[in-house]
């Protein structure tokens, strides 16, 4: 581990410096504050490097993981009336569960299968992440905070009063107090409601109403009317420096230059800006309430979210691992990497950190700066811990608008422009009325739109289902074209040319050339329409049918049953191993077709016919 100490030291320090502004920004964006982003970068960075399977990987909070976390945090906060203290144990438990799921994915060896998630799903999701970050950061970038807009908050006071009154009634019901009999008790409790209680409840409604992409659009007119010129200038200045400094040099991270420069100017000139939340000083402490206040009912609605975080982190990390492999000419261990990421995310959640994954830009910076072993990632995590302990109070003076500006550049950068540019050139393989559309573009757009305006978690699930169905249809169509299962006109195979005409009389030979599966069952079920009226024997040649799925199995059962109902004898020729096993599982053989009617090859089938052929007039 120490064979490349100098290179790892420089790589780790550089990567840690690059990670600092993004960690703070992602923490703020998540809704848990800058310290949550910093804690995530420290613990994930250190432990994912220590236990992971990619030597040069730098891990920490990333845009996709933060976007999913942000939606979940907002949802749990809304349920808890905006009280972060009550919501935090549930939030961190979901993060912990995601980390444990990643460890589980690694243990059962699923790391190598992550690559099979369709690209259109990933593309649509990544573009949606960029859209979400861009739109939601417009409010802090112009200095507008809905929960601090008094007139906006006051518009929710009737709802706040109704919710508080309902809560009082629910408490009385639980305590066995009848409202009709003791209404005075209700009035007494209502009088104890303070203005602060009402304000807190109204702010919770305001926060929920203005969250996400749709919520941002709802309050955007108010934001435009209440633009804070100073905050907007700080955000724009940050964006300009991030993009402008990159044109000068990439030796120094432009995000760090923008953070230090704009924050230094704002603080040095004594400008009246809004700082980020206070970053706690001292070592992070574990949140043991995750275990003491555990409530399965509170966690259950977010199990799928935890799985999404686990899978998303796995995809993000393993894609970065591939980049690292290409740069270093090494090969990562995918399952070990998943376990390392899971351990890092689990420990980070215990200390209040947001989840993360392998970060491509930080990993590239590490490698280019000399990092070659896992020590570089551990050094990056330790550097951030030192910054937290030594510069926490200083970092707390960073303007919130600066982090909003940084996140705008992240949102622009994370979108999948390669996938967007490819839209006009994708093959239009689906007919929709008079139009022809691309199945891959449909999947990408569905995931992108649903992720942006509805729910990230459900959108990915729906995208995977649509992509899988379209893939199955496409494969079914291709296989059917290559198989003459669909043929209504049976042409003789070479070994059938010399069959005596008198033996052919009353016999119909059905050829299956390819797998019989869900994509070709409907054509096979037309077998009854193909058989001549004088046929009393049907030979199904299966020597070129390597595979029979459950759909094909039941289709064959139905066809053979119908033929037997018409007193037609069914013979099976050369049944291969997998189809033979399937036919025996549901007793088609010997239940519907006796063993003596199943032949090793077509020649033995012909020999049986010579001895047992039934005349059509029989």
Residue in the block written with tokens 């250190």: 46
Q: Name residues of the chain where pLDDT drops below 70.
A: 1-2, 115, 172, 174-186, 475-491, 498, 519, 613-618
Global pTM value: 0.73
Q: Tell me how far apart the alpha carbons of residues 582 and 547 are, in angstroms, rounded to a whole number.
A: 9
Inter-CA distances, 100 with 63, 88, 293, 318, 341, Å: 21, 18, 19, 17, 10
List all residues 6 or more positions away from 281 whose beta carbon is below 8 Å from its beta carbon.
Answer: 389, 392, 393
User: What confidence score (pLDDT) does residue 491 get?
Assistant: 66
525 CA to centre of own chain:
39
Instruction: Collect all residues with Cβ–Cβ distance below 8 Å to 186 and sequence separation of at least 6.
Output: 168, 169, 172, 179
The Cα–Cα gap between 97 and 79 comes to 20
Measuring CA to CA, which residue among 385, 380, 386 is closest to residue 11? 380
pLDDT for 616 equals 41
CA angle 453, 459, 461 (to 5 degrees): 170
Closest residue by Cα to residue 98 from 297, 350, 311? 311
The structure tokens listed for 333 are 């261990």
Determine the pLDDT at residue 618. 39
Indicate the helix (H) or strand (E) that contains 512: strand 507-513
**Going by DSSP bridges, is the β-strand pair 569-573/598-599 parallel, antiparallel, or unpaired?**
parallel
Q: What is the 3-state secondary structure (H, E, C) of 387-453?
A: HHHHHHHHHCCCEHHHHHHHHHHHHHHHCCHHHHHCHHHCCCCEEECCEEECHHHHHHHHHHHHHHH
Evaluate whether 26 touches 66 at the Cβ level (below 8 Å).
Answer: yes
Task: Determine the pLDDT at residue 478.
Answer: 61
Q: What is the pLDDT of residues 120-143, one digit of tens each?
A: 888 888 888 889 889 988 999 999
What pLDDT is attached to residue 552?
Answer: 84
Count the neighbouring beta carbons within 10 Å of the beta carbon of residue 525.
14
Measured CA to CA, the distance from residue 128 to residue 463 in angstroms comes to 13
Per the document, the length of the chain is 618
- Compute the C-alpha angle 287/293/296, nearest 5°: 120
Q: What is the pLDDT of residue 599?
A: 94
The tokens describing 114, both together, are 């992550």
Do the Cβ atoms of 370 and 6 come closer than 8 Å?
A: yes
Q: 3-state class of 541 per DSSP?
A: strand
Mind giving me the DSSP string for 7-34? HHHHHHHHHHHHHHHHHHHHHHHHTS-H
How many helices and strands in the chain, by DSSP H and E?
Answer: 29, 8
Tokens coding 498: 């010399």
**519 alpha-carbon distance from chain centroid:** 28
Residue 250 DSSP class: S
Start-to-end C-alpha separation, the chain: 86
List C-alpha distances in Å: 269 to 358, 374, 552: 38, 42, 76
Q: At what angle do helices 63-79 and 303-328 cross, to 10 degrees?
A: 170
Q: Going by C-beta distance under 8 Å and a sequence separation of 6 or more, which residues neighbour residue 499?
A: 606
Residue with tokens 């003459």: 484
280: left (phi over 0), alpha (psi -120 to 50) or beta: beta
Give yes or no for a contact between 585 and 554, defined as CB atoms under 8 angstroms apart: no
């Amino acid at each position: 581990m120490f064979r490349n100490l100098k290179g790892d030291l420089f790589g780790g320090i550089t990567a840690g410096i690059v990670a600092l502004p993004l960690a703070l920004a992602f923490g703020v964006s998540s809704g848990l504050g800058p310290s949550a982003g910093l804690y995530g970068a420290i613990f994930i960075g250190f432990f994912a490097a220590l236990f992971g399977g990619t030597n040069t990987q730098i891990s920490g909070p990333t845009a996709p993981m933060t976007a999913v976390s942000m939606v979940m945090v907002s949802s749990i906060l809304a349920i808890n009336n905006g009280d972060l203290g009550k919501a935090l144990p549930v939030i961190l438990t979901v993060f912990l569960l995601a980390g444990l799921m990643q460890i589980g994915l690694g243990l059962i060896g699923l790391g190598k299968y992550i690559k099979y998630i369709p690209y259109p799903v990933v593309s649509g999701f990544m573009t949606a992440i960029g859209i979400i970050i861009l739109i939601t950061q417009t409010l802090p970038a112009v200095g507008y905070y809905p929960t601090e807009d008094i007139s906006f908050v006051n518009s929710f006071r009737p709802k706040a009063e109704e919710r508080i009154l309902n809560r009082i009634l629910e408490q009385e019901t639980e305590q066995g107090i009848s409202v009709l009999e003791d209404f005075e008790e209700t009035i007494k409790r209502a009088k104890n409601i303070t203005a602060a209680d009402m304000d807190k409840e109204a702010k919770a409604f305001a926060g929920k109403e203005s969250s996400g992409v749709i919520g941002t659009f709802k309050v955007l007119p108010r934001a435009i009317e209440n633009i804070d010129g100073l905050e907007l200038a700080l955000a724009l200045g940050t964006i300009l420096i991030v993009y402008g400094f990159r044109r000068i040099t990439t030796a120094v991270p432009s995000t760090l230059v923008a953070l230090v420069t704009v924050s230094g100017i704002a603080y040095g000139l004594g400008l009246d800006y809004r700082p980020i939340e206070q970053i706690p000083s001292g070592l992070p402490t574990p949140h043991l309430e995750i275990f003491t206040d555990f409530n399965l009912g509170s966690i259950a609605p977010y199990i799928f979210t935890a799985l999404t975080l686990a899978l998303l982190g796995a995809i993000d990390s393993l894609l970065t691992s591939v980049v690292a492999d290409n740069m270093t000419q090494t090969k990562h261990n995918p399952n070990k990497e998943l376990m390392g990421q899971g351990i890092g995310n689990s420990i980070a959640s215990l200390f209040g950190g947001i989840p993360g994954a392998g970060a491509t830009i930080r990993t590239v910076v590490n490698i280019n700066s000399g990092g070659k072993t896992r020590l570089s990632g551990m050094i990056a995590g330790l550097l951030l811990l030192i910054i937290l302990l030594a510069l926490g109070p200083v970092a707390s003076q960073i303007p919130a608008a600066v982090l909003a500006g940084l996140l705008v550049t992240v949102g622009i950068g994370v979108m999948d422009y390669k996938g967007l540019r490819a839209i006009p050139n994708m093959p239009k393989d689906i007919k929709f009325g008079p139009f022809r559309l691309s199945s891959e573009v449909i999947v990408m757009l569905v995931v992108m739109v649903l992720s942006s305006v509805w729910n990230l978690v459900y959108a990915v699930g729906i995208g995977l289902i649509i992509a899988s169905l379209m893939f199955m249809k496409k494969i079914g169509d291709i296989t059917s074209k290559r198989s003459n299962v669909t043929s209504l006109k049976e042409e003789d195979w070479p070994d059938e040319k010399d069959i005596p005409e008198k033996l052919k009389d009353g016999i119909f030979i059905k050829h299956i050339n390819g797998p019989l599966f869900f994509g070709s069952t409907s054509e096979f079920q037309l077998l009854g329409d193909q058989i001549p009226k004088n046929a009393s024997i049907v030979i199904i040649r299966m020597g070129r049918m390597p595979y029979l799925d459950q759909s094909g199995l039941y289709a064959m059962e139905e066809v053979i049953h119908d033929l037997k109902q018409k007193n037609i004898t069914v013979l099976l020729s050369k049944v291969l191993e997998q189809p033979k096993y399937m036919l025996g599982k549901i007793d088609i053989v010997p239940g519907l077709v006796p063993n003596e009617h199943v032949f090793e090859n077509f020649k033995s089938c012909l020999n049986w016919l010579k001895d047992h052929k039934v005349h059509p007039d029989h």
